[in-house]
A and B are shown apart, each in its own frame.
Chain A
Amino acid sequence: MKKNSFAAPTRQSSVAILVIIYNLYVKLIKQFWPLLLLGVANIGRGGAMDKTLFFIGIAAVFSSLFSLWSFFKYYFYIENGELVVEKGIFQKSKTNIPFERIQSINFEQAIIHRIFDVVKLKIDTAGSQGSELSLHALSKTLAKDLRDQILKEKQSNESAVNTFVKDEKEGNRLEEVIVKIEPISLLKIGATENHIRSGFLILFFGYWALDQIRELGFEKQVDKIGVNWDTIFTNVLFFIGLALVFIIASFIVSIIRVFFQYYDLKLERIGNGFRLTYGLFNQKQTTAKDHKIQTMGWGQNWLQKQAGLFKLHLKQASTKEVSTAKSIQVPGITIRQKNQVFSYLLKNEYLLLDNHEENGVNKHMFYYDARNISLLFLPMIVFLLYVQQLVVPTLLSLLFVLLIISAYKGFKKKKFKLSKTLCQIKGGSFGGKEKLIQLHKVQAVQIKQSWYQARRNLATLHITTAAENVSIPYLPLLEAESLADVFLYRVESSKKPWM
């Protein structure tokens, strides 16, 4: 087969029509699904719902036709060392991307791509956000040809600038697949997720759904479901039953959520950076170069501690708006994998931390929390007992004890370590967490003293980096000040690039 030279305008694979329409429908369904659900449940009964469905249908058909039309108006080709994309029905546009500005060419496959064995081609360019280009669907051979063609011309253009090409090559070499999560382990990860969050999700969602249904004119039906809250709180058995159902539901929601979000997760070492790929329906990919990573950390909740799993974070410098997109978050990794990531990032610096002494914080960290929790809960419990309630104060007391224990454990686990190049801060209550900052990446240092702390000559040290702020609370003021001195000294005497 003759290789396509891409000199003539080429269309995407016809699967692209499906991909575009699929993306469109996913977007529509995401926004209108409660309406759709209600509409489908009430088909044929007439009234407003049928009309709404009808209009949604019309809109779907029109947008599909529109996608079809725009597909035929979408061409790409190579001309004078540039990749050119022409598109548009009413508003025509032509985009030229010079090869030397292309940083990386990636293939991505969402579930629909896998079904038809095509790939999405993503071209990242040097420049601000949104300057990347993607071709929705290309057959695998065509995509590979296009990539080879671009890389070949790019290299011959830049043969003079040898170092750059070498850099580019080394920068994208796959060194190791550090983490690869199989669907079976996803179940384990889902089972150890934070179920409280899922629980709140269910509560919030249930409340919202009921509200929506009520608004659409089903008040009577909803109010019939409405339970008698008095019986719930007086009938202990019923309450326990309800709580059990709720816990199981939270558990299932967690597992499903994790399964969709982290399906086929892979963390790879690429050149001098990391690449994370994950997701079932929309596969996502994040890359982070070592020097861009500002803070790193790992943590585990109580359940994850039992299973020996950690969640790893690598945070990159960014503004607040894109911070989640730029941070690498890997659930369900083992100690060995975590150490592997850290040894890539920090070489032997991480091991050298072991030679340094671990410091704790002042006990007033616990006293202050315990005082506030008591001030909040004890009067409430006493009052409710006084008015002869039983179930609610019992639950509140349990929560009170739990919070006090958690505050105490939080104080006990607050530890920090400082080496010549690193600062390690440990924390957590029932689980555990740890943060690492390279000292030369610190942006500013702050010493804060509340009224409570000032009377006891204590202070909290805040350390700011370009990705996040971390703090060491309740240190003796003198210690906080000398720590600040050390941080400033390390930053000011450092010539290393921090970004």
Chain B
Amino acid sequence: MEFQNNQILVEHIPSIQTIHFTGLKPQYRWIDIFWNSLFFLFVIIIGSGIVLQYREIPNDLLIYIIPTMVFLWVLSVLLTFKTFPHKGYALRQRDIIYKKGWLFKTTTMVPFNRVQHCEVTQGPMGALLNVAKLKIFTAGGSQSDLTIPGITKHRANELKQFIIQKTMDEEE
């Protein structure tokens, strides 16, 4: 093969601005909502228990605690719906991209030739709603590890296969 070493102009480097992102499965929201609700229910029950148990704490306090918690609960549910459309992933020839966040936006880009390993996980709620999670690990530690939740298990395994194939190609 002829040796090539052409100059690359910055304008010709593929740009991430033109990427079309794929959204997550809508049923994924219910997993978020389920765990959040479980958390708030837990806090309300334990909190009420403590207040009722100890005589020194006036029971009137519950009038403030419970509505506050319920308010935060509703807020978390609304936030789940609000942030959902901002989540999405995109696959390119040489990297994978995941974006998330409504008020605080984050876009993470991991080149395939830096992927250490991939993992597909599915919890009981995920099995019920037919969604799984794809985790991609790099040597860069937790900040650069990429997790794509809310995709079907089939899709997750497909992606995993694709990425592993790509990393193997790179090594050759």
A279–B112 CA distance with the chains assembled, in angstroms: 42
Chain A residues near B146 (CB, 8 Å)? 444
Q: Distance (Å) between the CB of A356 and the closest chain B CB? A: 13
- Interface majority SS (helix, strand, loop, mixed), chain A: mixed
Residue of A nearest to B171 (CB): A495
Let me know if B10 and A486 touch, CB within 8 A: yes
Stretch at the interface among B27-35, B121-129, B135-143, B148-156: B135-143
Q: Distance (Å) between the CB of B116 and the closest chain A CB? A: 9
**A-B contact sample (14 more), CB < 8 A, given A450-B104, A451-B103, A492-B112:** A445-B109, A446-B106, A446-B108, A446-B143, A447-B107, A448-B105, A449-B105, A465-B140, A481-B15, A481-B16, A482-B15, A488-B94, A491-B114, A494-B113
Does A485 lie at the interface of the complex (its beta carbon under 8 Å from any beta carbon of B)?
yes
Residue of B nearest to A445 (CB): B109
Does A58 lie at the interface of the complex (its beta carbon under 8 Å from any beta carbon of B)?
no
A112–B22 CA distance with the chains assembled, in angstroms: 65
Q: Distance (Å) between the CB of A422 and the closest chain B CB? A: 16
Chain A residues near B16 (CB, 8 Å)? 481, 484-485, 488
Chain B residues near A498 (CB, 8 Å)? 114
Does B53 lie at the interface of the complex (its beta carbon under 8 Å from any beta carbon of A)?
no
Which A residues from 167 to 195 make CB contacts under 8 A with B?
none
Which B residues from 81 to 125 make CB contacts under 8 A with A?
94-95, 101, 103-114
Among B14, B17, B105, B139, chain A packs the most CB atoms within 10 A around the CB of B139
Does B13 lie at the interface of the complex (its beta carbon under 8 Å from any beta carbon of A)?
yes
Interface residue count on the B side (C-beta < 8 Å): 29
Let me know if B143 and A454 touch, CB within 8 A: no
Select B109's contact among A320, A446, A449, A482, beta carbons within 8 Å: A446
Let me know if B13 and A489 touch, CB within 8 A: yes
Does A464 lie at the interface of the complex (its beta carbon under 8 Å from any beta carbon of B)?
yes
Does B144 lie at the interface of the complex (its beta carbon under 8 Å from any beta carbon of A)?
yes
Q: Distance (Å) between the CB of B146 and the closest chain A CB? A: 7
A482–B110 CA distance with the chains assembled, in angstroms: 16
Let me know if A443 and B139 touch, CB within 8 A: yes
Chain A residues near B109 (CB, 8 Å)? 444-446, 484, 488
- Interface majority SS (helix, strand, loop, mixed), chain B: mixed
Q: Do A492 and B106 contact each other (CB < 8 Å), given the known contacts A443-B140, A486-B10?
A: no
A317–B114 CA distance with the chains assembled, in angstroms: 13
A319–B116 CA distance with the chains assembled, in angstroms: 14
Does B8 lie at the interface of the complex (its beta carbon under 8 Å from any beta carbon of A)?
yes
**A interface with B by C-beta (< 8 Å):** 317, 319-320, 442-451, 454, 462, 464-466, 469, 478, 481-482, 484-486, 488-489, 491-492, 494, 498-499
**B interface with A by C-beta (< 8 Å):** 8, 10, 13-17, 94-95, 101, 103-114, 138-141, 143-144, 146
Q: Distance (Å) between the CB of A475 and the closest chain B CB? A: 13
Let me know if A488 and B143 touch, CB within 8 A: no
A481–B140 CA distance with the chains assembled, in angstroms: 20
Let me know if B141 and A464 touch, CB within 8 A: yes
Residue of A nearest to B108 (CB): A446
Q: Do A464 and B107 contact each other (CB < 8 Å), given the known contacts A443-B138, A481-B16, A489-B13?
A: no
Chain A residues near B112 (CB, 8 Å)? 492
Q: Distance (Å) between the CB of A316 and the closest chain B CB? A: 12
A462–B138 CA distance with the chains assembled, in angstroms: 15
Chain B residues near A464 (CB, 8 Å)? 138, 140-141, 143-144
A481–B138 CA distance with the chains assembled, in angstroms: 21
Let me know if A444 and B17 touch, CB within 8 A: no
Q: Distance (Å) between the CB of A457 and the closest chain B CB? A: 12
Q: Can you pick out 21 interface pairs between chain A and chain B where the beta carbons lie within 8 Å of each other?
A: A320-B141, A443-B144, A444-B140, A445-B108, A446-B108, A447-B105, A448-B105, A449-B104, A454-B105, A464-B138, A464-B144, A466-B139, A469-B141, A482-B10, A482-B15, A486-B10, A491-B114, A492-B94, A492-B111, A492-B112, A498-B114
Chain A residues near B106 (CB, 8 Å)? 446-449
Q: Distance (Å) between the CB of A225 and the closest chain B CB? A: 36
Let me know if A444 and B110 touch, CB within 8 A: yes
A319–B140 CA distance with the chains assembled, in angstroms: 9
Q: Distance (Å) between the CB of B87 and the closest chain A CB? A: 15
Let me know if A446 and B107 touch, CB within 8 A: yes
